[in-house]
Amino acid sequence: MTKIFILNKPRLCSCFKKNNKQNIYDFLPDISKLKIPFLLDFRSEGLIIAGEDSDLMRNLRKSKLKKIYFVKAKSNRFEFDKFKKRESNIFFEGKRYSFTVEDFQNYGKVFRMRFILSQEPYGFINKLMILNNAKPLIIKRIAIGPLIMGKLPPGGYRPLSTAEIRKIEDSINV
C-alpha cells in the first residue's frame, strides 16, 4: 500500500529542497520519490499531503479538490466589498479563478476570513492580498477535500488511515 502522510507545514518553511533553508522534507520520513500534489508558499502554513509516487498522488495533482484556508490580514485601504461576496471570480496572471469567502470579519485595519478554492497557482492568496493593498499576517490551509488538519503541531505529520485514503479516492473518483 502507498504511504501517504499529512503534514502541518510551518510558516517560513520551503516546499523545495534548496539553499539550505528549512524545508518540509526535514519533517517527513525519508522516502525516495516523495510527491506533494498541493504546495504552499514560503509564508503560508498548514495542511500538506505527501506520499510515495503513485497514481493517487498524480490524480490528486490533477484534481480540483476544494482547499480551505484561514486568512488574517491587515490594511488601511483594502477593498473589503470585493471579498464580502460569497462567491467571486478574479483574473490573475491571465487566467480566471473562482473562490468563495466565508466568515468575513472586519476589525478596523485587521480582517479575517475563510477562503475556499478548488484550484490556485502557487502563492495565489498571498499575491491576491498584496494586489488588494493588504499585508497577509496568516495564511493557513486547514483542509484539502475531505481531509482536515486537526491538531497537528507545526512540523508534525502522521500517516493517513486506510479510511482517509478511501475518502480521498472517492472525492476524486478514483
Q: Which domains does the chain have, with CATH numbers?
A: 4-63+150-171 (3.30.70.580), 67-143 (3.30.70)
pLDDT higher than 70, residue 81 = no
Beta bridge mates, 49: 6
Q: What is the mean pLDDT of the chain?
A: 86
Determine how many CB atoms are found less than 10 A away from the CB of residue 30: 6
- Residue 137 C-alpha cell reads as 499576517
Confidence at residue 130, expressed as pLDDT on a 0 to 100 scale: 84
| pLDDT band at residue 1 under the 50/70/90 scheme | low
Confidence at residue 162, expressed as pLDDT on a 0 to 100 scale: 92
| Model confidence pLDDT, tens digit, residues 122-172 | 788 888 888 888 899 999 999 999 999 989 999 999 999 999 999 999 999
pTM, 2 dp: 0.89
pLDDT higher than 70, residue 85 = no
In terms of C-beta distances under 8 Å and separation of at least 24 residues, what long-range contacts does 31-36 make, across chains too?
Answer: 31/3, 35/61
Q: Residues with Cβ < 8 Å from 18, sequence gap 6 or more?
A: none
pLDDT higher than 80, residue 78 = no
pLDDT higher than 90, residue 71 = yes
| Model confidence pLDDT, tens digit, residues 39-57 | 899 999 999 999 987 888 8
Output 140 or 107, whichever has higher pLDDT: 140
- Rounded Cα–Cα distance for residues 15 and 39 (Å): 7
Confidence at residue 144, expressed as pLDDT on a 0 to 100 scale: 94
Output 79 or 123, whichever has higher pLDDT: 123
